[in-house]
Copies of this chain bind each other. A is one copy, B any other.
């Protein structure tokens, strides 16, 4: 994901210094002219630092535990594209502020192919001046920027809530198709109607197709990643005292899928869980 995004920056004429925890991952970018940094802090010396790390632990390790923030020049803008917890987003905002660094949260909706085509929808939150400075960088990677205000965690919570809505859409199709199948209507026939009418949207059409075809490999987004993201929603809800009953159901369905050993499947495999509970046969 990060590589695809960076290649668009390069294509737009930006000069890149790149770093990855797995150095080989940067080779394609280097072959196109990017400079490879041997350590993260060397990649943090430019005007803008874009980071795309896997989760809270990786972000914490690279930015907070390593001392990287202390090594950055005041005035540098850090743009964080990762989906992290609201709590960490708030902590990062404070830690950057303390050091005179600008921090912009810019999580994205879109799969790797959308990233490669610079078609990401990018949620953006940060101080207006900082956002303005990085706008050309962001626009090189996105089909559209969605400004969400000044506090970076606002973009973070919107991304988390959006992923929760995706998970809920999947579970809703999973349960609905278990119901129709039990009464003789295949998932394909039913979802064909729904995703061409009331639910004619990318989220439903994409996952609906996977559910109808029971095609869960290769995964676009695995069940453990789904569990992580539903966990971020639950954690954000816990901090702010927001009950989320659908998220609780999703957590249990994802755990049940994982208990069955399906860690490598796409999270649309939630439909297998719903079908198993009703003891339906394997085929759609």
Which residues in A have some Cβ–Cβ distance to B below 8 Å? 86, 109, 121, 123, 146, 148-149, 151, 153-154, 157-158, 160-162, 164-166, 168-169, 171-173, 175-180, 182-185, 189-190, 192-194, 197-204, 227, 231, 233-234, 236-238, 240-249, 251-253, 255-256, 258-261, 274, 277-279
Assess the A175–B245 pair: CB atoms within 8 A. yes
Instruction: Name 13 extra pairs, CB < 8 A, besides A199-B203, A227-B238.
Output: A109-B197, A148-B193, A149-B185, A149-B189, A158-B185, A161-B185, A164-B172, A165-B194, A178-B242, A179-B237, A179-B242, A241-B259, A259-B278
Give chain B residues whose Cβ lies under 8 Å from the Cβ of A256: 241, 243, 277-278
The answer to whether B236 touches A183, judged by C-beta atoms less than 8 angstroms apart, is yes
A178 to B164 CA separation, bound complex (whole angstroms): 12
Give chain B nearest CB distance to A53 CB in angstroms: 21
Contact of A162 among B86, B182, B198, B233 (CB under 8 A): B198
Copies in the complex: 4
In the complex, are the beta carbons of A185 and B198 less than 8 A apart?
A: no
Which residues of B sit under 8 angstroms from A185, Cβ to Cβ? Answer: 148-149, 154, 157-158, 161
Given contacts A256-B243, A261-B279, contact A203 B193 (CB under 8 A): no
Residue in B158, B194, B258, B260 whose CB lies within 8 Å of A193: B158
Select which of B153, B169, B202, B236 is within 8 A of A179 by beta carbon: B236
